[in-house]
Amino acid sequence: MKLCRFRVFGDPAVDIILVHMYRNTMKEQLEHPIVVERVQTGVRMEKRLLKVLKGLAELKDMTLGDLLEGIVLHAFEGKAPFSPDTQKEIEKLRSIYGLTLKATDSHQLKEKRK
């Protein structure tokens, strides 16, 4: 999903956000929402990774929980969760927050003792 922000002339307090998406798919999703029960969780995560995820959620104008649900549901089906454009945005966020970890590091992470 791509977001484009435009300032409305004459009213600096108003932004218009244009979202480019497949209209039929989104229309169908909005007309037939899937009702779920969400629970609060207390997971621990690497600090820079969390910053990148929060930044991406903000860029996509969605909650961190919605972003994580989407990533996990795609992963469960063996599908890539991000478009090439989103992957470029992620690389920028990784650079900003100094996230150098890769997928191959995932089973080698050990928490620093306090």
pLDDT band for position 113 (cuts 50, 70, 90): confident
Three-state SS sequence of the chain: CEEEEEECCCCCCCEEEEEECCHHHHHHHHHCCCCCCCCCCCCCCCHHHHHHHHHHHHHCCCCHHHHHHHHHHHHHCCCCCCCHHHHHHHHHHHHHHCCCCCHHHCCCCCCCCC
For residue 60, what pLDDT is reported?
A: 95
**pLDDT tens, 51-74?**
999 999 999 999 999 999 999 999
Q: What is the pTM of this model?
A: 0.70
Domain parsing of the chain, residue ranges = 2-105
**pLDDT tens, 88-104?**
999 999 999 999 999 99
